[in-house]
Chain A
C-alpha cells in the first residue's frame, strides 16, 4: 500500500477497560477449569499466553511468575507435546532465561512443531540476545511469506534495536497499515516500542508514542512508567511524579519506585526519595534472588544510581552481558566497570566491589 500510514487516532481500538475485562474474564474461566482438573495442552497454553499478556500490560511480576509456574507444569504434564515446550520457551524468555528458552524451542521442533510460531519465537530470542543478523534472516523470511501486521511489527522492533530509526519507522508505519483488528494490545505494545526507540534520541517523539500507547491502553504500566520518565526529562515534573507515585504504590515491579526515588532526589525531596529507594532496594533484592537473569539489567541500573553500589551493579551487569550480548548490555557493563574503577580509586565507603581486578583490566 502506498501513502502515509494512517495516524494513530484514526485507528480506533477497543477501549482498554473492555479489552482488559475480556482478558481477565478469559483467564478466570481457564483458571477455574484448570483448577477443576479440565486440562488440555491447548487450553493450558492459551491460559499461559493470556497470563503473560496480562503481565506485559499491567506490569505485574506476579503474573510473569504465575505464567512461568504454569508453563513448567505444562511441560512436565505434556512432555511429548511440542506446544508445551513452545509455551515454556516464551515464559522462560520473558524471564530472560534465553538459553533454556532456545533449548525448549529445539525440543518443540524435535516433537514435530514447526512453522511461523516457532520461527517468530526463535527470532525474538535471537534478537533479545543480540544476534541481530540471525534474527533478521528469520524475520525477513517470515515477512516475505506473511506480509501482515505481525511480520512488519517484528521487523520494526528489530530495526529499532539496531538503532536504524529510518528503517524502523518505515516498518512501524507499515505495521499500522496492515492492522486489521480492534484489539488495543498489539498496537499499544508497538507504540511503546516506538517510543522506546526514540527515548535517547528525541524525547518529544518518545513522549508522543508513550502517550499514544497509554491513551490506547490506560492500564499499560510500562508505557506510563516510561511516559513519566520522559515527562520529567521534558520538565513536566508534577505529572511525572503523580504517575510514578500511583504506579509505585500499586506495582510489584520495583522500577517505578526506583524511578520515583531518583526524581524526588533530583528535586531535593530527600526523605521521600529515601523511602522509595529503600522500598525499591528490598524488592530488587527479592526478585534478583528469585530471577537473577530477569532483573540483572534493571538491578544494575538501580545500584549504579540510586542504590549506590557499583560493585553489585557490576556483578549484575556482567550477568546481564553473559546472557545477552547487546550494545545496551555492553554499555551497561562498561558503565558499571568505570563506576567501580572510579569508586575504588576514590576509596568510597559505600563501594563494595566484587569484580576481580582482572575483570576490570580485561574489560578496559
Chain B
C-alpha cells in the first residue's frame, strides 16, 4: 500500500513511517500550494492517544524544477533553491483533563506554532498549517495488489479497502506559491516528505515522493536481474529524493526495470518495450522520485503522473499534475504499468474511502475515534 510499511525499518518503527504524500494547488484558493504528509499507520488505538514523536523532524521539502528534456529521455532539472517546512513537536502536557501537544513549523517564511488536532490550524506569513490525527486517506485492496505480485496474474476483484477506518498522523501546509521562490520562479515545483532524527546525530529515516514506488515496484525481488536477495527499500528511503547517490543507482534501476517489465507482461502484450540496455521507459522518470505540481494550472483531481507521461510522449501537459488526496492511484498506476492506458482500466475495485477527503482545509477527513481491527494481511506490504 502507498508507502505504508515500505521497508523493514518502517515496519519496525511505525512512528517514522511516512504513508502518503500529497501535493496540489488549493481547490479553495488558486495560487496556493497544498502539501500533505501522513505518518504512523496501523496503530489500533484511540485517535486522542496518538501523538507525534518529539524526537523526529517531519519535513516537507519543495524545490523549483523545470522540464529539461521531453521524449524517451525526458527529465526534470531540479533547482538548488529549496523551501522546506520542518515540524518539531513537544512532549504532550495535561490540560483540561486531556493530553495536549503543540508543535512548531520552521520554514524560511518564519516559525509557526500549532496545537495538534486543532481543526482550524494556525496561520502566519502566508502559510496555513495543520497537524493532527486524521482518517487514513489511502484505499487499496491488498488481496488484489498482493495477488498480482504473488501469482503474476490479475486476480479477481474482492473490493475491500484494507485500511478502511484506520487513522494516521497528518501534517498539512497550505502556502502562497509566490512566497516560496519569488514571483518569477518556475511554476513547476517538486515535493518530497521526510522523517529524520532531530538530535545532533542526524539521520534520514524515511522519505517519500510518489506513492507505491517502494511497495508495488521495489519490493518484488524475483524479477530483479542483479539483486534477488536484497530489500533495497531502506537504502532508498535514506536517499535525498532530489539527488540520489550514485552508490546504489544500479540496484534501484535493476529493481525497477525487472519489476515494471513483469507488470507490463501481465496482459500478455508489451506496452513498454525496453531499450537496448534493458531499461524500462519509466525507470529514470520514476527515480526522479518526487511529486511534480504545475502551479500555473488550476486544481485537478486526476493530474497524478499526467505531467510525467506527457513529457515521455513529447507533448505539453494539460493539468496541474501532483497528487490529490482522493485520486485512485492504485488503479492509475496498475493501468499505466500493465497496459500504458492502451487497454481497459485495471482496477482493484476500491475507488475511494468510505469518507473521502473534503476540498476544504485541511483536506483530510476527521479521524475515526477508535479504528477497527486490521485484517491479518494488513501491515505486511503487498
The 0/1 profile, CB within 8 Å of A marked 1, for residues 352-367 of chain B is 0000000000000000
Q: Does chain A have a CB within 8 A of B222?
A: no
Query: Are A182 and B201 neighbours in the complex by a CB distance under 8 Å?
Result: no
Q: CA–CA, A183 to B55, complex, Å?
A: 9
Closest to B196 in A: A182
Q: CA–CA, A181 to B14, complex, Å?
A: 10
User: What is the CB-to-nearest-CB distance from A37 to chain B, in angstroms, rounded to a whole number?
Assistant: 11
Contacts of B92 in A (CB 8 A): 17-18, 21
Q: Does chain B have a CB within 8 A of A85?
A: no
Contacts of A181 in B (CB 8 A): 9, 12-13, 16
Contacts of B370 in A (CB 8 A): 29
Q: CA–CA, A38 to B376, complex, Å?
A: 12
Q: Does chain A have a CB within 8 A of B46?
A: yes
Q: Which of A14-37 contact B (CB under 8 A)?
A: 14-15, 17-18, 21-22, 25-26, 28-30, 33
Query: Are A29 and B44 neighbours in the complex by a CB distance under 8 Å?
Result: yes
Q: Does chain B have a CB within 8 A of A362?
A: no
Query: Are B46 and A182 neighbours in the complex by a CB distance under 8 Å?
Result: no
Query: Are B45 and A38 neighbours in the complex by a CB distance under 8 Å?
Result: no
Q: Does chain A have a CB within 8 A of B51?
A: yes
User: What is the CB-to-nearest-CB distance from B124 to chain A, in angstroms, rounded to a whole number?
Assistant: 26
Contacts of A42 in B (CB 8 A): 376
B51's partner among A9, A12, A22, A28 (CB-CB below 8 A) is A22
A25's partner among B45, B205, B373, B376 (CB-CB below 8 A) is B45
A182's partner among B43, B50, B56, B99 (CB-CB below 8 A) is B56
Known A15-B55, A18-B91, A180-B9; judge A33-B199 contact (CB<8 A). no
Q: Does chain A have a CB within 8 A of B270?
A: no
B55's partner among A12, A17, A22, A180 (CB-CB below 8 A) is A12
Q: Does chain B have a CB within 8 A of A2?
A: no
Query: Are B45 and A12 neighbours in the complex by a CB distance under 8 Å?
Result: no
Query: Are B201 and A14 neighbours in the complex by a CB distance under 8 Å?
Result: no
Q: Does chain B have a CB within 8 A of A40?
A: yes
Known A21-B51, A25-B45; judge A15-B91 contact (CB<8 A). yes
User: What is the CB-to-nearest-CB distance from B52 to chain A, in angstroms, rounded to a whole number?
Assistant: 8
Q: CA–CA, A22 to B169, complex, Å?
A: 13
Contacts of B56 in A (CB 8 A): 14, 182
Q: CA–CA, A29 to B61, complex, Å?
A: 35
Query: Are B199 and A26 neighbours in the complex by a CB distance under 8 Å?
Result: no
Interface centre among A14, A26, A29, A183 (most CB of B within 10 A): A14
User: What is the CB-to-nearest-CB distance from A31 to chain B, in angstroms, rounded to a whole number?
Assistant: 11
Query: Are B200 and A182 neighbours in the complex by a CB distance under 8 Å?
Result: no
Q: Does chain A have a CB within 8 A of B185?
A: no
Contacts of A180 in B (CB 8 A): 9, 13, 203, 205
Q: Does chain A have a CB within 8 A of B15?
A: yes
Query: Are A25 and B55 neighbours in the complex by a CB distance under 8 Å?
Result: no
Contacts of A10 in B (CB 8 A): 199-201
Q: Does chain B have a CB within 8 A of A327?
A: no
Known A10-B200, A182-B13; judge A18-B205 contact (CB<8 A). no
Q: Does chain B have a CB within 8 A of A6?
A: yes
Known A11-B201, A15-B91; judge A29-B45 contact (CB<8 A). yes
A18's partner among B45, B54, B203 (CB-CB below 8 A) is B54
Contacts of A30 in B (CB 8 A): 44
User: What is the CB-to-nearest-CB distance from B43 to chain A, in angstroms, rounded to a whole number?
Assistant: 7
Q: Does chain A have a CB within 8 A of B70?
A: no
Q: Can you offer 11 A-B residue contacts whose CB atoms are under 8 A?
A: A9-B199, A12-B198, A14-B54, A17-B91, A18-B54, A21-B99, A22-B50, A22-B51, A26-B45, A180-B205, A182-B205
Residues of B near any A CB (own CB < 8 A) = 9, 12-13, 15-16, 43-46, 49-56, 91-92, 99, 197-201, 203, 205, 370, 373, 376
Residues of A near any B CB (own CB < 8 A) = 6, 9-15, 17-18, 21-22, 25-26, 28-30, 33, 38, 40, 42-43, 180-183
Given A6-B201, A29-B46, A180-B9, 16 additional A-B pairs, CB 8 A: A11-B201, A17-B92, A18-B54, A18-B91, A22-B51, A25-B45, A26-B43, A29-B370, A42-B376, A180-B13, A181-B9, A181-B13, A182-B55, A182-B197, A182-B205, A183-B15
